[in-house]
């Protein structure tokens, strides 16, 4: 069982890496920790920069993950989005070990929620089922709303 955020993140990244490789993708890992992306996936010649994220439950039926990075430089706190720095988030929910693929263009700037259930069906709801990742990289046009 992982007990700290670094170990949790490493577990998430390794499960995503395993899923991609098991499904026949070539995956590269950038050297060092200075890139905004964790993995580079070769999708039949198209190289995709992937940011691996771990989700947590915020309320029953809803998980959330960060869509921004936080750093401290020279004693100053900085936040930045991943737009123009990654192509997709692959998100792991540790309670079920399920993975979700979220194109960066569909992500919000701070945090994003995925819902399993809701009392209403509203167009602004991001349904977890629409983002389930089974190991096959989706095309943007495969989304229900696209």
Q: What confidence tens digit (pLDDT) does each residue in 112-145 have? A: 999 998 888 888 889 999 999 999 999 854 444 4
Backbone angles phi, psi at 80, to 5 degrees: -150, 150
Q: Rounded to an integer, what distance in angstroms lies between the CA atom of residue 37 and that of residue 49?
A: 6
Residue 2 has pLDDT above 80, yes or no: no
Distance (Å, whole) CA 131 – CA 143: 8
CATH topology of domain 5-142: Trna Endonuclease; Chain: A, domain 1 (3.40.1350)
Q: What is the DSSP string of 80-136?
A: EE-TTT-SEEEEEETTTTEEEEEEGGGS-SSEEEEES--SS--TT--BGGGTB-SSS
Report the SS3 class of residue 28: strand
Full-model pTM? 0.88
- Domain locations in the chain? 5-142
Overall average pLDDT of the 21-48 stretch: 94
Task: For residue 131, give every residue at least 6 positions away whose Cβ sits within 8 Å of its Cβ, in sequence order, or none.
Answer: 91, 100, 101, 102, 114
**Tens of pLDDT along 68-108?**
887 778 888 878 888 889 999 999 999 999 999 999 999 98
- What pLDDT score was predicted for residue 83? 85
Provide the pLDDT for residue 72.
Answer: 78
- pLDDT band per the 50, 70, 90 thresholds, residue 57: very high
- For residues 47 and 69, the model is more confident at 47
CA quadruple 137, 38, 54, 74: dihedral sign? negative
């Amino acid at each position: 069982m992982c007990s700290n955020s670094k170990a949790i993140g490493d577990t998430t990244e390794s499960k995503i890496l395993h899923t991609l490789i098991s499904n026949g993708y070539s995956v590269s890992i950038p050297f060092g920790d200075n890139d905004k992306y964790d993995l580079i996936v070769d999708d039949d010649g198209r190289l995709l920069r992937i940011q691996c994220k771990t989700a947590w439950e915020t309320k029953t039926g809803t998980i959330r993950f960060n869509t921004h990075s936080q750093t401290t430089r020279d004693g100053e706190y900085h936040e930045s989005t991943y737009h123009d720095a990654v192509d997709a988030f692959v998100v792991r929910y540790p309670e079920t070990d399920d993975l979700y693929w979220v194109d960066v263009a569909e992500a919000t700037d701070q945090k994003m929620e995925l819902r399993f259930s809701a009392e209403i069906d509203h167009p602004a709801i991001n349904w977890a089922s629409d983002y389930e990742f089974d190991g096959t990289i989706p095309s943007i046009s495969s989304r229900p709303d696209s």
